[in-house]
Structure 1
Amino acid sequence: MNYVELIQRQAEQVFGNKDKADNWLTQPKTALGGSTPLELAHTETGYKLVKAELEKLSHGFAC
């Protein structure tokens, strides 16, 4: 499994469904320097950044 697939799965768990996860993954995020989570998830460093943002969301912190 690659980083993008891992992030997609984690996002689906955090948001509860694929549509909401896909929406979040494809929208630019200020916390990610204006990039979309999917853009960043192609590298290990980007994957870790996106994963951290999803973990914040899962604990109730807005991104």
Structure 2
Amino acid sequence: MAGIFQSLNVLIKGPFMDSKQNHGQDSLAVELIQRQAEQVFGSKMKADHWLSQPTAETGDCSRLQMAQSRVGYEVVKAELDRLNHGFAS
């Protein structure tokens, strides 16, 4: 039962809700971003391509690498939200 509530909190607040829980947060953030990108782009291949491309703001860092930090996760998630709603990123 506790696992269900933890999953709901992740969906609502994101993977970085508790600073005491460091183990696995990076991989959870990446997994959530990958799922959202697949939904936005309609295929795993297109999502992986978009996520692996470096951004103009970060130079050599891909969006997937960015998603491993709290701030980067929020930036990539917001970008995917804009794309999902039809706004250019």
Q: The TM-score by the shorter chain falls in which range?
A: 0.7 to 0.9
Greater relative CO, 1 or 2 (CA 8 Å, sep 6+):
1
In 1, distance between residues paired with 2:81 and 2:55? 15
Corresponding residue for residue 32 of structure 2: 6
- SS of 1:2's equivalent in the other structure is helix
Provide the aligned length of Structure 1 versus Structure 2: 62
- SS of 2:74's equivalent in the other structure is helix
Identity %: 58
Gap runs ≥5 in structure 2: 1-26
Gap runs ≥5 in structure 1: none
Please give the TM-score of this superposition, normalised by the length of structure 2.
0.64
Q: Which structure is larger by alpha-carbon Rg, 1 or 2? A: 2
Please give the TM-score of this superposition, normalised by the length of structure 1.
0.87
Structure richer in helix, relative to its length: 1
